[in-house]
Amino acid sequence: MLLAAALTAACSPGLDWREARPEGSNARLLFPCKPEMHQRAATPEAPAAMGLAQCKAAGATFALSWAQVAEPAQIGPALQGMRESLVSKLSAQAGDLTAVQIAGMTPSPFAQQQTLSAAGQVAQLAVFTRGQQVYQALMLGPKADPRAWQSFVESIKLGDAP
Tens-digit pLDDT profile for residues 113-152: 999 999 999 999 999 999 999 999 999 999 999 999 999 9
Residues 6+ away with beta carbon under 8 Å from 81: none
| Residue 57 confidence class, pLDDT cut points 50, 70, 90 | very high
Q: Which range of residues forms the domain containing residue 114?
A: 2-158
Q: Is 47 helix (H, G, I), strand (E, B) or coil?
A: coil
Cα 25 versus chain centre, distance: 11
Instruction: Specify whether the CB–CB gap between 111 and 129 falls below 8 A.
Output: yes
Phi and psi dihedrals of 150, rounded to 5?
A: -60, -45
d(CA 38, CA 23): 9
d(CA 142, CA 110): 27
User: Does this model's pTM top 0.85?
Assistant: yes
CATH number, domain of 12, equals 3.40.1000
Counting the structural domains of the chain, the total is: 1
